[in-house]
Structure 1
Amino acid sequence: MTAPLVTILDDEPEIRSILSEALEDAGFRTMGFGRATEFEAALKTFSPDVCLVDLGLPDKDGLTLVHRLALEQGAALIIISGRVQVQDRVTGLELGADDYIIKPFDPAEVVARVRARLRNGRSAAKTVSNTASFNGWTAFFDRYILKDDTGIETPFSHAEGEVLRLFLDSPKRLISRAHMQETLGGTAGESFDRAMDVRISRLRTKLREDPKNPRLIKTIYGAGYIFLGDVTWS
């Protein structure tokens, strides 16, 4: 089996070297890029399993690139940045990132988070098919597309897809925050809770839910969430 490919987009050669060494020692393949334009050109010839992206790029806005990658690539997306403000982390997650790691970092932690993202993806692929229908919607997890009953398509990110798949796997059952953290990976706490709130809010928007009275994804305050749709996998 070919080892998973992790791309590293960071303009600091030392950072790229540290990450490449740690990931390759852990059994991954890596490719490093110092500029966004080089990275985007290379994406035409290969498909990474995980993308590590720094926000402070010399030639393009990192957040804009994260948003495009989240919509167009099936890879897990992890931001690694020196930006420590909460708003930067929230914005990155809102734009579709799966995780956010602040510099300076422990290379072992990065390896662990990469493994967690890949483990979650493999588990989902083994347990369900790639297409689910519910309440006039069809979710295509192989293409990261939501289609309504008129044929209009709306893309969703890898991160949003993880949460949507979790709901569709367990319709009409309470899904606690603790279960979400255990299933999706990540460190329990305010940062994880905020990331889940962001993803669920974006899913509600894409499903055209009334934010004051959502029909499909209900919040049970103090307990978690319930997905109320009727789901059929194919």
Structure 2
Amino acid sequence: MATIVIVEDEPKLGALLGDYLKAAGYETHWVADGLEALPAIKRHAPDMVLLDLMLPGKDGLEICRELRVFSEVPVIMLTARIEEIDRLLGLELGADDYICKPFSPREVVARVKAILRRTRGAAAHAAQEATGLHIDEAGYSVSLDGHDIDVTPVEFRLLRALASSPGKIFSRDRLLDQLYDDHRVVTDRTVDSHIKNLRRKLEVWRPDQDVIRSIYGVGYRLEL
């Protein structure tokens, strides 16, 4: 499940975007003040940021400028100002897209999906090239350093989630969402059991490396 931080000072619009994005399967966090935006982004480590241009405390352009110092998270800027200079400036500062108000929430969801598909696909491909890990979505197969790894469907989904952002910590709750297609009710210890089995299989070919690292009290991250 991707996480999206919504930085929007209009409560009704923030809630509306949150409702539509949640219905589309995303986890959302809403921030109404520009001064709270960067701390919230650092705290939640989102997969995308929806960023209003006109905000109290600090405007969206300044937030985007400061965000790009430490993060390449995709940003869609939202604004009622349609002047071309604002549009160009927003994109030059590192925004990935720009939507003018008024807009349809469905359009925002469609833009979010499109950008996440593109950025996640590129990131996953780059990560696989760099780490020696190859995940074949079509064949539901996994290899590490050219060696085939025999994984179960659940282990495949867990590894795919972890590999979507190598080095990023995934909580047990987020990983639970990836386990079963029928969304059956299971405990977080189920994640621990599958991670243990998956780690053992990967470490056959990387015996001196902690391939999936446990972060005490938080979750797991892939370190390849």
TM-score range, shorter chain: 0.5 to 0.7
**Where does the alignment leave 5 or more consecutive residues of structure 1 unmatched?**
133-234
The structure having more radius of gyration, on CA atoms, is: 2
Does residue 63 of structure 2 align to residue 60 of structure 1?
no
Give the match for residue 107 of structure 2.
109
Q: How many Å separate the matches in 2 of 1:20 and 1:129?
A: 30
Query: What one-letter code is carried by the residue in structure 2 that aligns with 1:119?
Result: R
Q: How many Å separate the matches in 2 of 1:31 and 1:95?
A: 23
3-state DSSP of counterpart to 1:30 = strand
**Where does the alignment leave 5 or more consecutive residues of structure 2 unmatched?**
131-224
Does residue 111 of structure 2 align to residue 92 of structure 1?
no
3-state DSSP of counterpart to 2:44 = coil
* 1:87-108: CA deviation from partner (whole Å, max 9, x where unpaired): 1101100111000000000111
Q: How many Å separate the matches in 1 of 2:38 and 2:128?
A: 27
Aligned residue runs from structure 1 range 139-154, under 5 A: none
Q: How many Å separate the matches in 2 of 1:22 and 1:58?
A: 24
Query: What one-letter code is carried by the residue in structure 1 that aligns with 2:70?
Result: E
Does residue 74 of structure 2 align to residue 76 of structure 1?
yes
Q: How many Å separate the matches in 1 of 2:119 and 2:16?
A: 25
Highest relative contact order (Cα 8 Å, sep 6+), 1 or 2? 1
Give the match for residue 17 of structure 1.
15
TM-score of the two chains, using structure 2 as the length reference? 0.55
Give the match for residue 118 of structure 2.
120
Q: How many Å separate the matches in 1 of 2:11 and 2:37?
A: 15
Q: How many Å separate the matches in 2 of 1:81 and 1:89?
A: 9
Q: CA deviation at 1:45?
A: 2.2
Query: What one-letter code is carried by the residue in structure 1 that aligns with 2:81?
Result: R
3-state DSSP of counterpart to 1:125 = helix
Match for residue 27 of structure 2 among 26, 29, 38? 29
Q: How many Å separate the matches in 1 of 2:86 and 2:129?
A: 33
Distance 1:131 1:94, change over 3 A: farther
TM-score of the two chains, using structure 1 as the length reference? 0.53
Q: Is the contact made by 1:70 and 1:77 (CA closer than 8 Å) also made in structure 2?
A: no
Query: What one-letter code is carried by the residue in structure 2 that aligns with 1:15?
Result: L
How many percent identity over aligned positions? 42
Q: How many Å separate the matches in 1 of 2:63 and 2:118?
A: 24
Q: CA deviation at 1:130?
A: 7.8
Q: How many Å separate the matches in 2 of 1:35 and 1:131?
A: 40
Q: How many Å separate the matches in 1 of 2:2 and 2:54?
A: 25
Give the match for residue 46 of structure 1.
44
Q: CA deviation at 1:125?
A: 2.3
* 1:15-43: CA deviation from partner (whole Å, max 9, x where unpaired): 10110011001000100010022222223
Q: CA deviation at 1:72?
A: 1.8
Q: How many Å separate the matches in 2 of 1:44 and 1:10?
A: 17
**Structure 1 vs Structure 2 CA RMSD:** 1.7
Greater per-residue helix proportion:
2
